[in-house]
């Protein structure tokens, strides 16, 4: 036995203050760099009282185990009207946006080579001014919440605001009153007269043949709706309806048993009805007496969306301390820009 070992043992025995009382040496993490005391304890073989740490209960160490929370917050999916995806969108520099539309075209005529040429008519201009409105939200979160939360609160709030704005503007594009918000295409005046007779700005509707329902041979009514839209507008046209209406139409068959509905065969390609894509918009009304539950048209030509800018979010940690406000705004407007490009089906007898 070396002298170093003997000195270590003598030092450990000297720690005994009274008979039978053992002063426990420090654990490895707290011992002196030499490690002599702990090594001596291990070599001595002295019994020691041990405590077990487990995560089974809180007082035996479970409180020390961190709880892991999923950093992504699940939420119910919100129905966002897809009218924006098929309409004409322009970015404006002010709320005073105007658009000119000509009606009637420029008349012309035939004449002989040496005959006199009379003056022809000139086009008529119509001014379109989409009603504008401002969406806003002003949620707040405490600074402690922003510091301590296990997920990115700011990013989550920004995403929630964007989703709510999209939902609100989608509903306005369909049914908005036009007062401090866009005017929806279903709020435009309607008549069952043709394009050459109906006044500009009034949408044409076709009756389904029965109040609150389809009449016999409903596929014929849908074909009439498609053909009511003139050829130049049918290029790029689409059906717009909600899920309940679509569920009924998907069951329609022709006289030879073929479905009118054609499911999509490739990813990213919408299903078609009578050869035209179907846009599912939950803001469209359910089928009821005199409801305008189906729209068909070229919305790029027929509906105008004017927006001042994208959604702007201002982080304000000063106004309401210790809370941080997230002030979000979005200015957007919309209206029917060409009443010949959109047709409606009205669920009425005539």
Segment 111-133, tens digit of pLDDT: 898 898 888 888 788 888 899 99
Give the three-state DSSP class for 223. helix
In whole angstroms, what is the distance from residue 262 CA to residue 274 CA? 8
DSSP letters along 249-308, please? Answer: HTT-B-TTS-BSEE---STT---EETTEEEEE-TTSPPS-TT-EEEEEE-HHHHEEEEES
Is the pLDDT at 171 greater than 90? The verdict is yes
Is the pLDDT at 181 greater than 90? The verdict is yes
Torsion (CA) 349, 335, 223, 292 in degrees, nearest 10? -30
Is the pLDDT at 49 greater than 60? The verdict is no
In whole angstroms, what is the distance from residue 48 CA to residue 220 CA? 92
Residue 97, Cα to own-chain centre: how many angstroms? 26
In whole angstroms, what is the distance from residue 225 CA to residue 163 CA? 33
* Per-residue pLDDT at 264: 80
**Cα angle at 72 between 71 and 75, to 5 degrees?**
145
CA neighbor of 101 nearest in space, from 131, 130, 124, 122: 124
**pLDDT-above-90 percentage for the chain:** 39
The lowest-confidence range among 3-7, 215-219, 280-284 is 3-7
The lowest-confidence range among 96-105, 204-213, 224-233 is 96-105
Residue listed under structure tokens 């296990």? 150
Architecture of domain 83-105+121-346: 2-Layer Sandwich (3.30)
CB 260 within 8 A of CB 225: no
Ranges of beta strands (E only) in 92-178 are: 99-103, 124-128, 132-137, 140-142
Neighbours of 137 (CB within 10 A): 18
Q: Break the chain into its structural domains and give their ranges.
A: 3-64, 83-105+121-346
**Stated pTM of the model:** 0.74
Torsion (CA) 276, 126, 204, 180 in degrees, nearest 10? 90
């Amino acid at each position: 036995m070396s002298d170093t070992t003997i000195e270590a043992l003598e030092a450990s025995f000297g720690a005994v203050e009274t008979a039978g009382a053992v002063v426990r040496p420090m654990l490895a993490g707290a011992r002196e760099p030499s490690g002599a005391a702990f090594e001596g304890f291990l070599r001595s073989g002295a019994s020691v009282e041990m405590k077990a740490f487990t995560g089974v209960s809180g007082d035996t160490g479970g409180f020390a185990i961190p709880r892991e929370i999923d950093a992504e917050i699940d939420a119910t999916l919100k129905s966002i009207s897809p009218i924006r995806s098929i309409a004409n969108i322009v970015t404006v520099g002010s709320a005073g946006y105007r658009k000119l539309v000509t009606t009637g075209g420029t008349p012309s005529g035939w004449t002989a080579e040496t005959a006199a040429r009379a003056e022809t008519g000139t086009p008529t201009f119509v001014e379109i001014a989409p009603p504008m409105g401002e969406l806003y939200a002003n949620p707040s979160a405490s600074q402690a919440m922003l510091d301590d939360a296990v997920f990115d609160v700011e990013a989550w709030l920004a995403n929630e605001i964007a989703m709510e704005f999209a939902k609100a503007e989608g509903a306005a594009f369909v049914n908005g009153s036009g007062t401090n918000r866009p005017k929806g295409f279903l709020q435009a005046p309607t008549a069952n007269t043709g394009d050459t007779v109906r006044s500009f700005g009034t949408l044409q509707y076709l009756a389904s043949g029965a109040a609150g329902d389809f009449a016999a041979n409903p596929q014929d009514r849908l074909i009439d709706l498609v053909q009511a839209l003139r050829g130049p507008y049918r290029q790029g046209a689409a059906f717009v309806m909600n899920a309940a209406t679509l569920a009924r139409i998907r069951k329609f068959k022709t006289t030879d048993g073929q479905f009118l509905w054609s499911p999509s065969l490739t990813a990213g390609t919408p299903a078609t009805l009578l050869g035209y894509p179907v846009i599912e918009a939950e803001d469209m009304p359910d089928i009821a007496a005199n409801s305008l539950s189906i729209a068909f048209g070229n919305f790029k030509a027929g509906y105008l969306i004017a927006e001042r800018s994208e959604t702007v979010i201002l982080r304000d940690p000063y106004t309401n301390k210790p809370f941080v406000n997230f002030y979000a705004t979005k200015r957007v407007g919309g209206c029917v820009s060409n009443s010949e490009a959109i047709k409606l089906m009205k669920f009425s007898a005539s």
